[in-house]
Amino acid sequence: MNMDQTYTFDEVIHVEVPEGLPGTKTALKQVEFSLASVRARGGHLVKLVHDERLGAARVRLRSEIRRMLRVYKKEERITLMIRGEDFSMTDNLTRYLVDRCPQVELDSDMDKENGNITLVYF
């Protein structure tokens, strides 16, 4: 992520969940910081890219990230979260997002049921 860039409404920002972190807490803090940084720069849409290796620790981390995002939604810190498994034009949240960010419909993960991503919209 280019920290000097001014984000616009029409960008999808990839924040990769880092490998080799000592634990879930550290990874969650990194994701939390990345989301706050994007939002502070005026970004509206983040695509979290999770590790593609589905070991038990990585699945647990993805679950914890999504749990954190559900709390953020409840606290109104984010508008919505879309799991990669649900990222499809047949999904109501995805259609809502495409109405606001039309370029999202062209994303390479659309309709792929990719559990390695999570979309976050502020």
pTM across the whole model:
0.84
Along the 122 residues of the chain, how does pLDDT read in single tens digits?
444 444 344 456 666 666 665 677 887 888 898 899 888 888 889 988 876 665 676 778 889 999 999 999 999 999 999 999 999 999 999 999 999 888 889 899 999 999 989 999 99
Q: What angle do CA 73, 16, 114 make, to 5 degrees?
A: 75
Residue pLDDT, tens place only, 60-91: 888 999 999 999 999 999 999 999 999 999 99
- Ranges of beta strands (E only) in the chain are 13-16, 45-49, 80-83, 117-121
Q: What is the pLDDT of residue 2?
A: 41
